[in-house]
Amino acid sequence: MKKTALVALLCLPLFSAAGAADKLLADRHMDRVGKCEACHQTMPPKAVGSKQCLACHGSYDKLAARTDGKDINPHASHLEDPDCGACHRGHKKPVLACDECHEFKGIKVP
Ligand code: HEC
Ligand code: HEC
Ligand code: HEC
Ligand code: HEC
């Protein structure tokens, strides 16, 4: 919490300049779902498993339908159903796990 607050404070000028799109995933969710417990079933918070994400986001099939028609479909690949956390991060910069081996350009993980 302390660390999060500090980071938020340090990034404040950045946020106001760049807008909500540059907020981290957990902060964007806080704007919508309003409480840490939406993702963190246990307090103090621990890492969040895909099961908790899918409670709201449905299934990999549903996600794949939303991201179909792009160059790659991050939700339907030969990695099958990886943990959401392989790419999406709650409180840090996301990564595209595919790029451990590939080099897909211009794909941003929200
Ligand atoms: C309590 C419900 C809830 C939970 C739990 C939840 N989300 Fe979401 N999420 C939403 C809603 C509502 C939206 C906005 C509508 C949409 O895009 O589906 C959203 C949007 C997103 C987006 C689109 C980008 C953005 O921020 O707009 C991503 C990516 C995402 N969620 C990933 C995750 C991941 C990963 C987890 C688990 C760590 C997670 N969500 C857990 C409700 C939830
Ligand atoms: C291999 C990396 C990867 C994994 C694993 C992954 N995602 Fe994503 N996700 C992405 C990328 C990249 C995008 C942006 C796609 C785009 O804009 O074309 C995205 C977009 C989304 C969106 C927004 C879709 C939209 O309509 O734009 C949601 C919601 C989401 N992911 C949820 C999840 C959840 C929940 C999980 C776990 C069950 C998950 N993702 C696993 C890479 C991943
Ligand atoms: C969108 C879902 C989401 C929301 C909402 C969310 N978190 Fe998280 N949190 C995560 C994920 C995913 C992780 C795993 C590490 C990462 O990806 O940053 C995490 C990790 C953490 C950790 C580190 C736990 C550990 O043992 O590694 C703390 C502490 C934490 N969150 C606190 C909070 C607090 C406090 C709030 C409310 C202000 C909050 N989180 C809201 C998704 C969320
Ligand atoms: C651990 C390494 C690794 C990871 C991570 C990985 N790939 Fe691959 N991928 C490969 C290998 C090896 C091949 C087969 C060799 C080839 O065809 O280039 C391949 C092949 C592919 C192909 C077919 C290539 C073609 O031209 O037909 C696609 C598409 C693909 N991967 C997409 C993805 C996506 C999307 C992700 C992330 C969700 C991902 N890969 C993650 C190693 C990986």
Query: How far apart are the C-alpha atoms of 68 and 63, rounded to whole Å?
Result: 9
The string of DSSP codes covering 35-93 is SGGGT--SSS-----HHHHHHHH--HHHHHHHTTTSSS-TTSSTT-S--GGGT--SSS-
For ligand 4, whether the C-beta of 1 sits within 6 Å is no
* pLDDT one-digit tens code per residue, 14-73: 444 445 568 999 999 999 999 999 999 988 999 999 999 999 999 999 999 999 987 899
Residue 58, in any domain of the structure:
yes
Residue with tokens 């030969």: 78
- What pLDDT sits at residue 15? 44
Residue 49, in any domain of the structure:
yes
Residue 31, in any domain of the structure:
yes
- What pLDDT sits at residue 19? 53
Query: How many separate domains does the chain show?
Result: 1
Distance in Å, CA 56 to ligand 2 centroid: 13
Residue with tokens 């943990």: 83
For ligand 2, whether the C-beta of 29 sits within 6 Å is no
Residue 60, in any domain of the structure:
yes
- What pLDDT sits at residue 12? 47
For ligand 1, whether the C-beta of 32 sits within 6 Å is yes
* pLDDT one-digit tens code per residue, 70-103: 789 999 999 999 999 999 999 999 999 999 999 9
Distance in Å, CA 96 to ligand 2 centroid: 10
- What pLDDT sits at residue 71? 86
Query: How far apart are the C-alpha atoms of 34 and 104, rounded to whole Å?
Result: 34
Residue 109, in any domain of the structure:
no
Judged by its nearest atom, the ligand closest to the C-alpha of residue 23 is: 1
Structural domain range at position 93: 2-100
Contacts of 43 (CB under 8 A, 6+ apart): 36, 37
Residue 110, in any domain of the structure:
no
Pocket test for ligand 4, best of 98, 100, 103 (most atoms within 8 A of CB): 98
Residue 12, in any domain of the structure:
yes
CATH of the domain at 81: 1.10.1130.10
Residue of the CA atom closest to atom 16 of ligand 2: 67
